Structure 1
Amino acid sequence: MLHTRSVRRVGEGESGQCDEVVSRDEVLVQLMTLTSALHHLCHHHYHQSSLLPSLHQQALDVMERVCGFRVYRTPSPLGGLGVVAAVSGDGSVAAVKRGQLVGLYPGTLYLPHQPIFFQSINNSFIFRCADGILIDGNDKRISKFLYKSCCGRDRIGMMPSADDTWLTDHPINPLNVGQYVNNQSSAVGGKLGGEEAVTQPVVLQPTTRDFLA
């Protein structure tokens, strides 16, 4: 209900632009560094569902080696699920430096003129971007069906058009859990900030696209 909703608060970035914590070039560098490492681990194997639990654990190890921490979904003190950044050694919360990429918001994209009424019913995972584009990050029900349908429609032969393992409990790209990051509320402050980074598909290598949702 409206009285319990959370409001996203965005401050001024270092460059003076609103909603920018770190330069978008730096975001892409961090993203491509991790996905390149994941590609060497998972290439041509992540489409086999029986291997997902093992590959997910290996992907977390790769992330900790590259980034210094791992992220995963876990029960939240606010209710439901949340995201934690931890170190595998003792499971303690990791110290993440400012500007570090810790999650991506996966989902089906809807342009402002495209219908999303039925998908939006009882769906708290729809994120509205500054340009009006909507991202449906729900991994269940009709949202899950539509995302998998789009992936199947756009794939070329055996080459996937996007990562669909985020719809499972074992995402091959550990970053694809951003939809579970808890928003800041009046009672609890936010520990992570959201930023919209826009790029052109031609900028991303095919090995990177396989891990993006």
Structure 2
Amino acid sequence: MTLFFLVAAVLIFLQLRSVLGRRTGNEKPPVDPFARSTSNPAGSTEEDKVVTLAKRDDAEPENRYAAIDAFAAPETALNTQLRQIADVDPSFSPKEFLKGARIAYEMIVMAFAAGDRKTLKGLLSRDVFEGFDAAITERERRGELLKSTFVGIDRADIVSASVKDNEELLTVKIISQLISATYDKNGELIDGDAENVGEVNDIWTFARDIRSRDPNWKLIATESEQ
């Protein structure tokens, strides 16, 4: 991996901000926006540790382009980029990818809050895992406790795609709703809000090695939208 590895150093200092984004002050009552079989990502079984974001069944060119054209208007930059992904990964479906990205997002956010390194290691690139691990270690050193409740995802959109150095790269903008609060070793609230829902804006980049038969993608970069 040679792309986007600015996360590791940043996470140590920004901790929750770099992983969960920022609160905008727009509060909404908790909702249950999704109902799927993976209802407990942070407590998932071993088989759930890596999320498959796109299946790799064979597909005819016209069929895979039809899926791309239905997702992004023809002759737009995003359409062209997604067609490049489909050219090297004939089974790629943007809709199926986003379904997987939503699941992965929730699993990663909740695993970070819980300090679940085992789950994170299966979902992150080595560089990003090292950054997350450093942030968790620092939190543990201070005796702090992060409590998060995942309310749901308002929007998840692919904003760019590319193929570089034998990797498929897809960047997703995710707007989610979370309740997040950090407590010090004495149990005092030092950051966040334990009751109100905050809107979080993140931009995450996923990658997959084109040469690999493994259909799974991993998170290689996180960024909080300002």
TM-score (norm 1): 0.29
Which structure's residues are more often helix, by fraction?
A: 2
TM-score (norm 2): 0.28
Higher relative contact order (CA 8 A, sep 6+): 2
**Structure of greater Rg:** 2
